[in-house]
Structure 1
Amino acid sequence: MGDQPQRIDGQQGTRRPFRYFDLVMAAFVTILLLSNVIGAGKVAVLDLPSIGAWEFGAGILFFPVAYIIGDILTEVYGYAHARRCIWAGFAALLFMALMAMVVVALPPAANWGGQAAYEQVFGQVPRIVLASMIAFWAGEFANSYVMARMKVWTGGKMLWSRTIGSTVVGQGVDSALFYPIAFLGAAGWTTDLVITVALTQWALKTAWEALLTPVTYKVVGFLKKREGVDVFDTDTDFSPFAIGRK
């Protein structure tokens, strides 16, 4: 099953090839794109006991998982490796948004009747796309920073405290940026409604990630043992733009 993980302070010794890093990064980017393509466009409803009909964006099923993987990346491989994944995800989101705009705008063939449905599913409001990009970038970096700093503060103990603590901050930053940028001043969106939806989504996403803490523990334990490292960001450059430096 591999050796016990070796403590690595900063990024010294992490220039080695990892067995699973590329797979974890691929999972991170895939789930991020799915949350914006499959989940973001649908409003679902559940009939809850004592509450009744409860409407929610289907993206809540996907998007928090990206933050969980972000926690795993920072915990196992360190902030610098997580930073690379965040930029990869940002680039993928940008490319997807641009391609969606181009493909939707292309004139449809006369014998193809799916343009209206295609526009409804893949057509994107530029303001919402901008809000999503900014919120993801800031939220993920805040999440990874808090995760890395808390790991040093706790001496690598109490993993649950930093996964939940970083989620509270990261999802808080995400929601605080996305909803005002996307909807404040838009038709039908009062200031009170924007604040209510932002707080509700922040609470739900945080609770969902907290419920998945046992899964996070298992994945982190597996990866640390197989990769043989346990990175502590004691001297890491935390600038989001310091790609290629420790």
Structure 2
Amino acid sequence: MTSHSTSPTTETPPHSGRPVGAVYADRGSSHFDILLAAMVTVVILSGIGAAKGVSFGTIPGIGFEVITDGGFFLFPLAYVLGDIITELYGPRAARRAIFTSFVVSVLASVSYHVIIALPPFPDEYGLAKQAALEVALGPVWIVVLAGLAGFLAGQTLNSQVVSRMKNRMGERGLVGRLLTSSGLGELVDTIIFCSIASVAIGITTLEQWFEYTLLGFLYKVLVQYAMIPVTSAVIRWLKRTDPTYQKRLREADLAASPGAGR
């Protein structure tokens, strides 16, 4: 008699066609620590960069000034990482990642002020460096405050939309979840953030605030939408390679199959 051995599979099991509810992996397994570290890094660097106002000039013909801040190219990545964490590990893990990011960001802001308060070398170079640090890092606390208010509100909304849609649809509709959550979360975040951070980067008129806010919102959403193919591919790969996710998925699929519980 020939015996056949079986080995655990990492492929998503076939479904009966019905949603099985939201399934999440364990935070203590696989890639959560890497995703968390990446989010913390992006938030801190965005806070430093956002203290600098950036102007790309005025669009000819319509007089719209292209105003943003120095962290514009980084911050959308925080939402991409938030989407991935929520989809894989659930809203509780996403809240932990958000909270951790800004605790570390506040610690960084306090550290900047301690560095500024320390007495510099009394020579010309030391005094020049002290003045540069005061100008560059001094306003960062305002950006951190803006980020705390905006990102906590926007990312919390983003996470809730993803998790609630997943509760209704199960593994289906990943792209729809990413599209819907990105627009709502970024809108709330951008309005709050720009209203507070505009003081730090030197915006003084309502027109400049409107241009800064509108451009920031459109840019962030377009970047997130453009990255959705990559984001969804990364999510699907992480789901396939996370053993706890696959275990939960098999259990949920078995519970939803005909004859379960007989």
2:92 is matched with: 80
- Give the TM-score of the pair, scaled to structure 2: 0.75
Q: Is the 8 Å Cα contact of residues 30 and 242 (structure 2) preserved in structure 1?
A: yes
CA contact (8 A) 2:53 2:70 kept: yes
Q: Equivalents in 2 of 1:78, 1:8: separation in Å?
A: 15
**From 124, 132, 140, the counterpart of 2:155:** 140
TM-score, normalised on structure 1? 0.79
State the partner residue of 2:78.
Answer: 66
Deviations along 1:147-190, one digit per CA (max 9) or x if unpaired, are 11122233332322211211111111111212223448x98633
Question: 2:11 is matched with which residue: 4, 10, 21?
Answer: 4
Residues 1-246 of structure 1: matches in 2 within 5 Å? 3-5=10-12, 14-15=25-26, 17-38=28-49, 40-41=51-52, 43=54, 45=56, 54-111=66-123, 112=126, 113-124=128-139, 126-183=141-198, 189-228=204-243, 229=245
Give the drift of 1:50.
8.9
Unaligned runs of 5+ residues in structure 2 are: 1-7, 14-18, 250-262
> SS of 2:72's equivalent?
helix
**C-alpha contact (below 8 Å) 2:67/2:211 kept by paired residues:** no
CA distance in 2, matches of 1:59, 1:16: 29
**Is the alpha carbon distance of 1:211 and 1:147 closer, same or farther for their aligned partners in structure 2, counting shifts above 3 Å?**
same
* Structure 1 counterpart of 2:5: none
The answer as to whether partners of 2:51 and 2:143 remain within 8 angstroms in 1 is: no
The residue type equivalent to 1:79 in the other structure is P
Contact 1:32–1:66 (CA<8 Å) still a contact in 2? yes
Distance in 1, Cα, partners of 2:213 & 2:234 = 30
Deviation digits for residues 104-151 of structure 1 (CA, Å, limit 9, x no counterpart): 122212132411222222122654432222112111111111111122
Q: Which residue of 2 aligns with 1:244?
A: none
How many residue pairs align between the two structures?
230
Q: 5+ unaligned residues in a row in structure 1: which ranges? A: 233-246
**Shift in alpha-carbon separation, 1:125–1:81, aligned structure 2, 3 A:** closer
| Partner secondary structure for residue 28 of structure 1 | helix
**Matched-pair identity in %:** 31
Q: Secondary structure of the equivalent of 1:93?
A: helix
| Bigger radius of gyration among the two | 2
RMSD: 3.3
CA distance in 2, matches of 1:69, 1:125: 23
Pick closer, same or farther for the CA change 1:54–1:225 going to 2, 3 Å: same
Q: Which amino acid aligns with 1:26?
A: A
Using the alignment, how far apart are the partners of 1:22 and 1:103 within structure 2? 29
Deviates more, 1:120-129 or 1:26-35: 120-129
